[in-house]
Amino acid sequence: MTKTILITGGSRGIGRATAVLFARKGWNVALSFVGDQKSADETCALCERAGITGNVFARKCDVRDEKSVIEFFNSARERFGSISGVVNNAGIVAPQSTLADMDIDRMKDVFDTNILGAYLVAREAAKTLHSGTAIVNVSSIAAKLGSPGEYVDYAGSKGAIDTLTIGLAKELGPMGIRVNAVRPGIIDTEIHASVGRPERITELGPNCPLGRPGDAEEVAHSIYWLISSDASYVTGSIVDVSGGR
């Protein structure tokens, strides 16, 4: 029986790379997007070419909205049956700023998406998954570094994801459901340009111990391993995919 992966924020960047990798491995892929239909369609086309025709679909889902999250999970089950893994990836970052200069609307947007949204997705995953399945939360190395002078709100939101991972792993472990996280570092995706800092990749990447930025596929492979049975005794772990940063 073909397994199904559900990925939030699957239309671009790490989410897209993860969707394509799972499709290549023969999985059904259900991915969500919040506004960019074109990117979602492009990701579906890439998955179709990499996998089996008809094994992917995209649905608009605002993870901040409880009804939207529930409907996304329901639509994935209606299309493919049981879900074997969830990649809790949807998140945002705002333009560079010190905390002193951040307004309340910006912080609410970041926290509502990155914390409340991630918790809603994790809650539905906890209700939906069964023994032998797994959740991977996408955190950030910012949770360790704090992102001073850049995005301390984002860093704090990802710290909450680390805590979610540890606590939920303990809750779901007795049910045979594993929960882990990845913490990407400087990854070459469009997220930096989306907040006006495309140069951030070339500025910070060479300063990593490995001397370069990472790419989305490298993070996707770590996510795939954590979902797969090869990581069958791994839960409550947070894997840094950061080039040593």
**What's residue 54's pLDDT?**
78
pLDDT tens profile 209-219: 999 999 999 99
Q: Where are the domains of the chain?
A: 4-239
What b/e sequence results for 159-176 when a residue is b if at least 16 CB atoms lie within 10 Å of its CB, and e otherwise?
bbbbebbeebbeebeeee
Q: Where are the beta strands (DSSP E) in 75-170?
A: 85-88, 134-138
List active site positions: 154
Q: Tell me which CATH code domain 4-239 carries.
A: 3.40.50.720
Torsion of CA 16, 200, 88, 113, to 10 degrees: -120
Distance CA 16, CA 189 (A): 10
Say which DSSP state 211 is in. S
Residues of the chain with pLDDT under 70: 191-197
**What's residue 203's pLDDT?**
79
pTM comes to 0.95
Cβ distance 153 to 103 under 8 Å? no
**What's residue 194's pLDDT?**
63
Q: What is the DSSP string of 159-173?
A: HHHHHHHHHHHHHHG
